[in-house]
Amino acid sequence: MADASRNGGGVVAVPEPGPAFADETTLRDIWTVTRARWPWALAVCAATVAVVAVHVLRERPIYAATMTVRIDPSPNPIADAQAFTPAYDYRVDPLASEQQVIKSRTIADRTVRALGVPPDRSELDAARDFQTRILTRVLPETDILEITLLGADSAWDRAAADTLTAVYTAYAREQAQTRAHGRSQYIAQSLVDQAAAVARSQDSLRAFQAAHQTSDVTDEETEVFKRIYKFAADRGELAIEQQVYLGLEGRLERADSTDDELRRLAATDAVVHNRSVASLYDSWADLERQRQRLLLSRTERNADVQALDSSIASTKRNLQRASGLYLASLGARIASLDSGVAVLRRQTERFPPMVSEQARLAAVVKTREAEYSALLSQFQIARISEGGETGGVRVLDAATVSPTPVAPNRPRALLVALVVGVLLGIGAATAADRLDDSVRSVDEVRERLQLPVLAVIPRAAGGAGLVTHEDPRSAVAEAFRSLRTSVAFTRAHAEPRTLVITSAAPGEGKSTAAANLAITFAQQGQRTLLIDADLRRAVLHTLFNVAPVPGVSDVLVGRARLTDVVRAVDVPNLSVVPSGPAPPNPSELLGSSAMRAMLDEARSLYDMVIVDSPPVLAVTDAAVVASLVDGTILVVRVGATGRDAVRRAAVQLQGVHARLLGVVVNAVARRQAGSGAYDGYYVTRGRGPRPAAPRGLPTR
């Protein structure tokens, strides 16, 4: 964005050259474009609706045959036979998989073969076509599938739908039985392998038992420990007897048979059960009693008493000798038991690894035998299941055909076509607008070109001409009076007194706009001078019917003064200066000091000076003159002036520091300009008949 200023700094935002559209297209822009190019939008919309309507009307009606099936994972109907179901995978939706199976090529091929292939089509094409007409849907929160077959023949569709269901059910049963048979074969092979494993484990156990010469290591170990426990018990008993005989042997040296301790020892089982010792002890006790009785009647020197003493001593020695021998035998027996226990304990050291190995081998045999038994049971169940597999598919409802066609839905198709047509029409209008760079509406000047609009001039029938003079009550004349007001208020404290009226290119109505604007100022009572500075293609003298020479070019070259070339016209307070002879160097003359002097003189003599200059982009004349006046007005013709041309013209004026007051939008349709109210006002409120339409003149 740039700024242009002149004579104290009137500032107007001037756009830099760039794309025809703003960066952001609003809904209002789209609506404006569509309204401006409604024939494009209407034609595209009508064509779209017509094409769809013809297609829909020619399309054959389609009926739907619908049936429902349930995917039932129930057990096998045969008692004790379980249905074979694959392992559950959370990544797979079983019902979605079944839908794909129903719509698969395999099911379509089988169904087509069952129905019969049409003679004019191949089986492959018929299957492909049939496949495209199958629709499936899972009823919400159920395991029920709804299968729909589309077709143009309701009777054939019902038969085809029933055939499709039968084919799918048979296929599901076939697949289930194939899986069950495969499982049976797998289990049978596993049984063979497991039997061989059982035989190998049993052979290993027997080889172990033969190597260690035992049928059961545990029983043998138990027997050894029993013997150890028996030897220990026997040794304990012998140790007790040994203690008894040691005590007995000790008492025999210093006691007689009446000694209480000796008598208690003799009464123990160890002595009582030893017949020889017990007999000697009894003999000793009898001899002692006989001696006691003899001593009652005899003395110790008595031969009988001495004979008894000799017998007692001999018996006691024999008792001591027998006790010692028995004590020695007890020691030998105890030593033998200790040796046997030691040998048995050494034997027990080899039992733990043998027991562990035997337990391992026995466990292997038992496990493999159990696995074999389980496999055998499964094999029997699997063989039974093969004949009872149904595939888990049950038909709930047979095929029923819709009474009315499901397609084409003509109202919906036409509605969609209308919506699409409207969108395409808007798109076509927008595309046409992008391809057409011309200004189409007043809003484009304000919003896209970002230039102030001083006035909107409606399109006049037969051309504008001097409409403000010839038809002052018309809407066009009122628009020029509005332009006069806008110019007057561009700066309230410094009203511009010299104006240049120009355009971006020829044929946009700048000369007509300059003439009518000058007339409005003159009608307001201001002394107005209209100067034709278009030294190349002047037309003001034609509009006001004055002589073209002398004129501006004569003043600039010094052949005449300003007062010599001023022409009076029929409009009060208005004078016109024609262009004069066409010079060879218009740009140099218009940029000379003589041009500045002429404008200064005109400003001193008149209240308002309006200069008609050539187009900005055609030649440099307009830019040169614009730098010498108080303000510049750019005329833009709707439908003729390009947006990019307006931009470049504004930038060129900026380059010479011209004060661009704004834009006059010319030849605007009355519905866009909103001028109908003016026409009605002047027709109904004016006095007398409305003047005739102005004569048509070429616009410049």
pLDDT at residue 18 in the model: 37
In the structure encoding, which two tokens stand for residue 388, read together? Answer: 């009872």
- Residue 505 CA to residue 641 CA, distance in Å, equals 7
**Nearest Cα residue to 528 out of 503, 552, 549, 497:** 497
The β-bridge relationship of strands 631-637 and 498-503 is parallel
What pLDDT score does 35 carry?
Answer: 74
Give the pLDDT confidence score for residue 567 in this predicted structure: 92
pTM (global) more than 0.75: no
Distance (Å, whole) CA 424 – CA 417: 10
- Calculate what percentage of the chain has a pLDDT beyond 70: 85
User: CA 152, CA 60: separation in Å to the nearest integer?
Assistant: 7
- Distance between CA atoms of residues 467 and 483, nearest Å: 14
pLDDT of residue 566: 94
Just give the CATH number of 449-684: 3.40.50.300
CB 450 within 8 A of CB 13: yes
- Stretches where the chain sits below pLDDT 70 are 1-25, 36, 73-90, 251, 253-267, 270, 387-388, 436-437, 461-464, 491-494, 670-700
At residue 255, the pLDDT reads 62
Return d(Cα 197, Cα 361) in angstroms, integer.
12
Give me the pLDDT at residue 286, please: 82
Angstrom distance (rounded) from CA 611 to CA 129: 79
- The token pair that represents 153 in the structure block: 């023949």
pLDDT at 81: 52
Contact present, 59 and 408 (Cβ < 8 Å): yes
Domain range list for the chain: 27-59+408-435, 217-360, 449-684
- Tokens 């696995």 locate to 371
pLDDT the model gives residue 491: 59
DSSP one-letter code for 687: S
Query: DSSP assignment, residue 159?
Result: H
SS3 294: helix
Residue 461's pLDDT is 59
User: In the prediction, which pLDDT does 464 show?
Assistant: 62
Peptide bond into 119 cis (omega under 30): no
453-458/134-138 β-pairing: unpaired
State the angle between helix axes of 94-102 and 154-211 in degrees (0 to 180), rounded to the nearest 10: 130
Peptide bond into 452 cis (omega under 30): no
- Residue 598's pLDDT is 92
* Cα–Cα distance measured from residue 150 to residue 134, given in angstroms and rounded to the nearest whole number: 7
Q: How many CB atoms lie within 10 A of CB 570?
A: 11
- Pairwise CA distance, residues 287 & 306, whole Å: 12
Distances (CA, A) of 280 to 73, 247, 383: 99, 17, 90
Closest alpha carbon to 531 in 466, 594, 577: 577
